[in-house]
Structure 1
Amino acid sequence: MSASAPSLDQAAMPPVRGRLTAQVPLAPLVWFKSGGAAQWLFEPKDADDLADFLKGLDPTIPVMALGLGSNLIVRDGGVPGVVVRLGKPFATVEAVDATTLRCGGGASGILVSSTARDKGIAGLEFLRSIPGTVGGFVRMNGGAYGRETCDILLECDVVLRSGERVTLSNADLGYTYRHSSLPDGAVVVSAVFRGIPGDPAAIQAEMDRIAAAREESQPLRSKTGGSTFKNPEGHKAWQLVDQAGCRGLAMGGAQVSEKHTNFLLNLGDATSADIEGLGEEVRRRVKATSGIDLEWEIQRVGKPA
């Protein structure tokens, strides 16, 4: 470690009330089941614990939030700095009024949509189909089946990298397709979503329809990362990948899904380098056949081996 690099030993870490663990393998925590370790994994007890920790942490140490690890490649060399994982204390959903829910940053899309159904709130059914947590939905403007997070978000509570707690409105987040202007190192601890009044039975029917459509079209029983590339304006990413002859294309232990070509698979022992390398080869072939630059939707973090 160079003289100017921040110290990352236990003594240099601020005190916590939650759990702070060194060198935690991240592969078991992400959908691809590949990749290296977090230098530190912090599971805060509550939002105050997180804010106090970030305020006391050397500002040069990088911080990254981790949800369900679905839309993520963790590179084989691991993630430097601190990975923040919001556990049970943040997996809450409660009704604010007849059409509004306050959701913890660690709550899953299934929990949010099911609670909305039970409360007779329609318009949040699409979250049933996104394998992630509220924090990830807010950061990435998560969406599916014609709806996006920006359609339902009123505001969110965020702990900035400095430890400052702020409330950001929908407009503050500068939403575009699969993107927000949420700053690096910021962690979404809760969000307020608004739907419209609905009949629980009709809401359940829509959730069932979405679940069936996913099951039919996507390789849900595989080690995958969800949608790999963003849909370019006027195009479907999967069609461009298919037209470039990449259906079933393999590299190391990674493969382009034959069921849905915008999904990459870990066939068993793929490294993250295999998966990311395959994605780059797909991008190269699509560029060569269509002239279109596919943009990654999957987040790629950490260092190569």
Structure 2
Amino acid sequence: MTLELPPVRGTLTENRPLSDLTWMRVGGPADALFLPADEDDLAEFLAALDPSVPVFPMGVGSNLIVRDGGIRGVVIRLGRGFNGIEIDGTTVRAGAAALDAHVARRAAEAGVDLTFLRTIPGAVGGAVKMNAGCYGTYTADVFRSATAVTRAGDRVVLSADDLAFQYRQSALPEGWVLTSATFEGIVGEPEELAARMAAQLARRDETQPSKDRTAGSTFRNPAGFSSTGRADDVHDLKAWKLIDDAGLRGATLGGAQMNPKHANFLTNAGGASAAELENLGEQVRKTVYDQTGITLEWEIMRVGEPAPE
């Protein structure tokens, strides 16, 4: 697909392979990859870009399978101009490209408790879009507002009502690019918060394959209805247990594997294609459904087109 692309101050690369930008290390090329210099550059580009051209905002690729045929349109990836972190009292404002772990650490040093973000892979933009959560706390619980640039190039401020958070999802319109978010934490002692994060990391590394090529949890835990971390939100049924009970821990397809350490972590065990990863996930979904009647829902985003036949 040949695109008419507006001039930019950032970096704009056509036919750019995406595999090196995802944690799974799979994926074909984007028609174009745009790294804006700043919010003005992003807004001007989107305003000038043909409205028929699809736009896909991409974070650090920690929760993503890009299919082998790549992505048509423009992939937008925010970098250094969007990773600042500012703290005022218990209010934390972070650029969409700021890593969740960095936000948690900086907040803790300032005596603000956003410790749940410490073990969440990825960046702030993805955490807001997916209402990321850990240890019983969700992004929605601390969210105050976000800024975004619309597909038409307009800047908007979004409230929690605008985003309509649910379990592992929000109502961010397609093609809109989050540029920053503001959170409100609670006061904590820096030493205590640091110790809690260290314990969380140790627990994660003990139970999850944090050194392998995964994209985090593959499937959402079933059930739950309020889905924003309230006390009435129940996810007692775990996806890993359903996969384990179906005998699929360690299952393989080509270079793809359901991780032996944690059955809900789809893994590129070596040379996997995106198709192998996605097809293994679909086999798992079918088997679990056939055995239990429960449909596992993907937590990993799968985007783009399959490889041409």
Interval of TM-score (by shorter of Structure 1 and Structure 2): over 0.9
2:202 to 201, 212, 217: 212
Equivalence for 2:23: 31
Displacement of 1:35 in angstroms is 1.2
Tell me which amino acid in the other structure corresponds to 1:240: L
1:264-279 equivalences under 5 Å are 264-279=266-281
For residue 223 of structure 1, give the secondary structure of its aligned residue in structure 2: coil
For residue 261 of structure 2, give the secondary structure of its aligned residue in structure 1: coil
Distance (whole Å) between structure 1 residues aligned to residue 90 and residue 211 of structure 2: 34
Equivalence for 1:4: none
Displacement of 1:183 in angstroms is 0.3
1:173-184 equivalences under 5 Å are 173-184=163-174
Distance (whole Å) between structure 2 residues aligned to residue 169 and residue 28 of structure 1: 34
1:1-305 equivalences under 5 Å are 7-8=2-3, 12-95=4-87, 97-122=88-113, 124-233=114-223, 234-305=236-307
Distance (whole Å) between structure 1 residues aligned to residue 96 and residue 103 of structure 2: 11
Displacement of 1:74 in angstroms is 0.3
Displacement of 1:269 in angstroms is 0.4
Displacement of 1:222 in angstroms is 0.7
* Identity within the alignment, %: 53
Displacement of 1:244 in angstroms is 0.9
Distance (whole Å) between structure 2 residues aligned to residue 155 and residue 53 of structure 1: 24
Aligned-residue RMSD, C-alpha: 0.9
Tell me which amino acid in the other structure corresponds to 2:211: R
Consecutive unaligned residues in structure 1, runs of 5 or more: 2-6
1:137-188 Cα distance to aligned partner (Å, 9 max, x none): 1100011111110011100001111111100011211001001000011111
Tell me which amino acid in the other structure corresponds to 1:121: V
Distance (whole Å) between structure 2 residues aligned to residue 39 and residue 217 of structure 1: 38
Distance (whole Å) between structure 1 residues aligned to residue 204 and residue 17 of structure 2: 30
1:190-222 Cα distance to aligned partner (Å, 9 max, x none): 000110111000110111111011100111111
Tell me which amino acid in the other structure corresponds to 2:255: G
For residue 144 of structure 2, give the secondary structure of its aligned residue in structure 1: strand
Distance (whole Å) between structure 2 residues aligned to residue 212 and residue 37 of structure 1: 36
Tell me which amino acid in the other structure corresponds to 2:122: G
Give the TM-score of the pair, scaled to structure 1.
Answer: 0.95
Tell me which amino acid in the other structure corresponds to 1:29: L
Consecutive unaligned residues in structure 2, runs of 5 or more: 224-235
Query: Which portions of structure 1, spanning 4 or more consecutive aligned residues, are displaced by more than 4 angstroms?
Result: none
Distance (whole Å) between structure 1 residues aligned to residue 116 and residue 205 of structure 2: 14
Give the TM-score of the pair, scaled to structure 2.
Answer: 0.94
Tell me which amino acid in the other structure corresponds to 1:205: A
Distance (whole Å) between structure 1 residues aligned to residue 291 and residue 11 of structure 2: 49
Equivalenced residues, count = 295
Distance (whole Å) between structure 1 residues aligned to residue 298 and residue 269 of structure 2: 21
Tell me which amino acid in the other structure corresponds to 2:296: L
Tell me which amino acid in the other structure corresponds to 1:78: G
Tell me which amino acid in the other structure corresponds to 1:46: D
